[in-house]
Amino acid sequence: MMSLNRRILFSATLVLLIFIVGIAWTLDRAFYDSARVGVKDRLFAKVLMLMGDAEVEDSGELDVPTNLLDAELGHMNSDTYAFIIGPANTIVWRSTSSLNKPIPDIALLEKGKKEFAQIMINDEPHFIYRYGVAWETPSGDHPLTFNVITDTVLFEAQIDRYREDLWGWLGVMAVLLLATQMLVLRWGLQPLRKVSVELAAIESGHQERLKGVYPSELQLLTDSINSLIAHEHKQQKRYRNGLADLAHSLKTPLAVLQGAIHSEDDEAIRRKTIQEQIDRMDNTIQYQLRRAATAGSSPGMGLILLRPMADRIVNTVTKAYRNKQPAITVAIDDSIGLRIDEGDLMELLGNLVDNAFKWCRSSIHLAADYQQNQVVIQVKDDGPGIQPHEIARILERGVRADQSTPGHGIGLAIVRDIMQVYGGELSIENNPDSGLCVTLRLKKSK
């Protein structure tokens, strides 16, 4: 695919060429019309001069002096000549310059009518200006048409010279504009080249993030890239920590299993010991896999509405606890949503609702609301609750699955870790009457 620099340069060049051609055509047409008007005015002036020299006798005879003031009309090799048409379309007078020139077959014009046109004489273009008059004499009016003709050689030479100058200067201007445009583009696209260089440095491992100062138009892009890089680094760190914690957590049950194999205890005790360690290892592996799979917040994450997700989870967990039929209330407005990974949200709500079903006696309450710039989610049950010292242990950072509070599995530990990833707050407290209330506080989506 064509580079961005070439795309812009090609587009700008095309626009410039169209603009230059448009200007050239407009100026050429304007000059052509102006030059044509100049020829018309020049011929009209000669007609007026000729009319000033001419006289009509009382008998109707036309008298034009041979020594005309206009030198062009009195010169044999002149490109301009004149003639006068009288009654019956006859030529009653012609200039000296017309003696070796053909006279076109034209008729009288009406009184006061003027006509300027381009005609062909002997297959050569000529301009002609005609003026019809009715000369008043005591014996009556005498119709006359004054005609002045000139060839287009001088006119065309003038147009050709102008076009040469016009295209020459426009060509120079186009080259200068293109050169200036290339310099401006190079300067304008410098931040993009800087981004490309920094991205190459990040890819090669020489730097970890985009450090340059960029224009406001690119700032959002560079901030998003840095956020993605930071998110990727956090994800890799979670994977490494998860693997390290998994390896550490499996050491003890593996040592116990190895000891049980060589133990001299009876078969029942050995089986019980092995099963306990297998369950412990299974819980640990599940916990670490879910912890490593936590996506965390990232740029461009979509908004997920809480109410549909909560209804889905409640319906699913209800089927898993068919023997229990607690009274379930869901107080979540349809407009409340979070920018969070869908899998992470399912883990959060799924574990809390599952624990509530597991320990409740007859009722479960699930609610969510906006409080200032936070979304507050609460899951309450009317079960036995948790001892205060166990609550403190659940909220302690770095507690592994194999150290989780007995009776609550790894659910609350997973919820705690997901909330840490999203920068949220988790609080657990016993209800005044009975049961447990788990509260999640997450940043409100914009």
Q: What is the CATH number of the domain that holds 90?
A: 3.30.450
pLDDT digits (tens, 9 = 90+) for 1-35: 667 778 888 888 888 889 999 999 999 999 999 99
Let me know whether 282 and 321 are in one domain: no
Q: What is the pLDDT of residue 68?
A: 62
* Nearest-angstrom CA–CA distance, 15 and 134: 57
For residue 210, tell me if it sits in a domain: no
Write down the mean pLDDT value for the chain: 83
* Nearest-angstrom CA–CA distance, 290 and 232: 17
Let me know whether 260 and 322 are in one domain: no
Rounded mean pLDDT, 172-176: 91
pLDDT over threshold 60, residue 402? no
Rounded mean pLDDT, 84-111: 88
Q: What is the pLDDT of residue 299?
A: 58
Percent of the chain residues topping a pLDDT of 70: 86
Q: Please identify, among 271, 292, 313, the residue that sits at the C-terminal boundary of a domain.
A: 292
pLDDT digits (tens, 9 = 90+) for 243-271: 766 675 676 667 767 777 777 667 777 78
For residue 412, tell me if it sits in a domain: yes
Count how many domains the chain has.
Answer: 3
For residue 194, tell me if it sits in a domain: no
* Nearest-angstrom CA–CA distance, 5 and 9: 6
Rounded mean pLDDT, 58-62: 73
Q: Please identify, among 228, 258, 292, the residue that sits at the C-terminal boundary of a domain.
A: 292
Let me know whether 379 and 432 are in one domain: yes
Q: What is the pLDDT of residue 378?
A: 94
Let me know whether 269 and 307 are in one domain: no
Q: What is the CATH number of the domain that holds 326?
A: 3.30.565.10
Q: What is the pLDDT of residue 342?
A: 83
Q: What is the pLDDT of residue 287?
A: 61
Percent of the chain residues topping a pLDDT of 90: 28
Let me know whether 128 and 106 are in one domain: yes
For residue 203, tell me if it sits in a domain: no
pLDDT over threshold 70, residue 298? no
Rounded mean pLDDT, 230-240: 74
- Confidence band for 213, pLDDT divided at 50, 70 and 90: confident
- Of 398, 411, 233, give the one whose Cα is nearest residue 313: 411
- Confidence band for 403, pLDDT divided at 50, 70 and 90: very low
Let me know whether 54 and 149 are in one domain: yes
Rounded mean pLDDT, 127-145: 88
Rounded mean pLDDT, 401-426: 69
- Confidence band for 211, pLDDT divided at 50, 70 and 90: confident
Q: Which of 15-24, 366-375, 403-412, 415-424 has the least mean pLDDT?
A: 403-412
pLDDT over threshold 60, residue 401? no
Q: What is the pLDDT of residue 192?
A: 83
Q: Which of 4-18, 111-125, 179-193, 401-415 has the least mean pLDDT?
A: 401-415
For residue 200, tell me if it sits in a domain: no
Rounded mean pLDDT, 396-416: 57
**Most confident listed range (20-24, 216-220, 298-302):** 20-24
Let me know whether 11 and 151 are in one domain: yes
Let me know whether 251 and 384 are in one domain: no
Let me know whether 283 and 361 are in one domain: no
pLDDT over threshold 70, residue 209? yes
pLDDT over threshold 80, residue 291? no
Q: What is the pLDDT of residue 191?
A: 85
> Whole domain around residue 123: which residue ranges?
4-158
Q: Please identify, among 158, 178, 194, the residue that sits at the C-terminal boundary of a domain.
A: 158
pLDDT over threshold 50, residue 398? no
Q: Which of 133-137, 187-191, 364-368, 409-413 has the least mean pLDDT?
A: 409-413
Rounded mean pLDDT, 149-158: 93
Let me know whether 281 and 352 are in one domain: no
- Confidence band for 300, pLDDT divided at 50, 70 and 90: low
Q: What is the pLDDT of residue 226?
A: 84
Q: What is the pLDDT of residue 405?
A: 44
Rounded mean pLDDT, 197-219: 83
Rounded mean pLDDT, 274-287: 73
pTM of the model: 0.52
- Greater confidence, 412 or 245? 412
> Residue 56's CB: how many other CB atoms inside 10 A?
20
For residue 164, tell me if it sits in a domain: no
- Confidence band for 302, pLDDT divided at 50, 70 and 90: confident
